[in-house]
Amino acid sequence: MGTAGSRILTLVIAMILDAAFGEPKWIWSRVPHPAVLMGRLIGWIDETYNVGSHRFEKGFIAMVCLATGAVLIGLGLRQIPFVDVIVLAILLAQRSLVEHVSAVAMGLRVSLKEGKRAVAMIVSRDTANMTESDVSRSAIESAAENMSDGVIAPIFWFAIAGLPGLLLYKITNTADSMIGYRTPRHEKFGKAAARLDDLLNIIPARLTALMMWAVTPHSNLAGIRRDAPAHRSPNAGWPEAAMAYGHQIALSGPRSYDGQIREFAYVNAAGRTDLGPNDIMAAVSTLWKTWGLALCLAVVLWLTTGLL
């Protein structure tokens, strides 16, 4: 079997391991998760270098160093037998995503307060004044976006470039989530991270939307293609639109950050806005169906490469 075939087989095994075991607490309560280490490094860089003048230049150099370091570490690690399947299984987030999103539905079934507490773990918007529909919409949006960022994109970049591609993507996505904001502090310093993250997610976000469309029989491809480009994010709009049309609900829309209402446009504005825990669990079902389709495609690709 060639290198490509071995890489795809590794991908299949890692996907199954992640889905089966997720992130065992008995491990990550004792040692820091690689994503945590990435976050600490980026936090230190932000605190140390995001000061004074020339912040764009400093942020650009920081991102070049982070990206180069990630690729070099990936090149080194792939020389160690079996380490690629372990690293990939750790950095995939299917089981973790499903658990966090499902926790919001379970919380809402107890009380609105518990639902808010659970959704605050996965979104950065204000939760204090959320209704049940707001909580549900937030959880479903997070499910759609993180299916792309945390599952399909890592799968894609590992399939394309192995561990170097995976680690390049993960460090970029982590940097974007920490410093890639249009705020006075990060507008300049985080711009390189945000732009690189946008670039690396162009294909995975659209693949995610296409797969979600394929596994939701009531979806509307024309609607997805119309609404996704109007989203505030060049990539997140695609999986959100696919989830919205697949379940005939309205997503995105107004929300509060730091006490200020942001009047974002709805995705699938004609869809239902009265949402609840059953809608969250329907979205979780779509996450698993999308994962299943990705696994099937990976198996087919592995079989195909093995025959070549």
Residues linked to residue 195 through DSSP beta bridges, in sequence order: none
Query: What percent of the chain has a predicted confidence (pLDDT) above 70?
Result: 98
Query: What percent of the chain has a predicted confidence (pLDDT) above 90?
Result: 83
**What is the number of domains present in the chain?**
1
Specify burial of residue 197 (Cβ count, 10 A radius: 0-12, 13-18, 19+): buried
Residue with the bigger pLDDT between 232 and 18: it is 18
Provide the pLDDT confidence category of residue 275 given band limits of 50, 70 and 90: very high
Most confident of 29-33, 210-214, 231-235: 210-214
Q: How far apart are CA 49 and CA 62, in angstroms?
A: 9
Provide the pLDDT confidence category of residue 5 given band limits of 50, 70 and 90: confident
Write the CB contacts of 53 (distance below 8 Å, at least 6 apart in sequence): none
Which domain, by its residues, includes 18? 3-307
Looking at residue 295, its amino acid is L
State residue 307's pLDDT score: 56
Over range 176-204, report the average pLDDT.
95
Instruction: For 104-122, write each residue's pLDDT tens digit.
Output: 999 999 999 999 999 999 9
Provide the pLDDT confidence category of residue 254 given band limits of 50, 70 and 90: confident
Looking at residue 189, its amino acid is F
Provide the pLDDT confidence category of residue 2 given band limits of 50, 70 and 90: low
Q: How far apart are CA 24 and CA 16, in angstroms?
A: 15
Phi/psi for 261 (5° steps) reads -75, 130
Phi/psi for 252 (5° steps) reads 60, -130
Q: Is the pLDDT of residue 306 over 80?
A: no
Q: What angle do CA 142, 28, 32 make, to 5 degrees?
A: 95
State residue 236's pLDDT score: 94
Over range 145-159, report the average pLDDT.
97
Phi/psi for 256 (5° steps) reads -110, 135
State residue 76's pLDDT score: 96
Instruction: For 74-113, write each residue's pLDDT tens digit.
Output: 999 999 999 999 999 999 999 999 999 999 999 999 999 9
169, 88 contact by CB (below 8 A)? no
State residue 232's pLDDT score: 86
154, 170 contact by CB (below 8 A)? yes
Over range 167-189, report the average pLDDT.
95
Q: What angle do CA 83, 86, 87 make, to 5 degrees?
A: 85
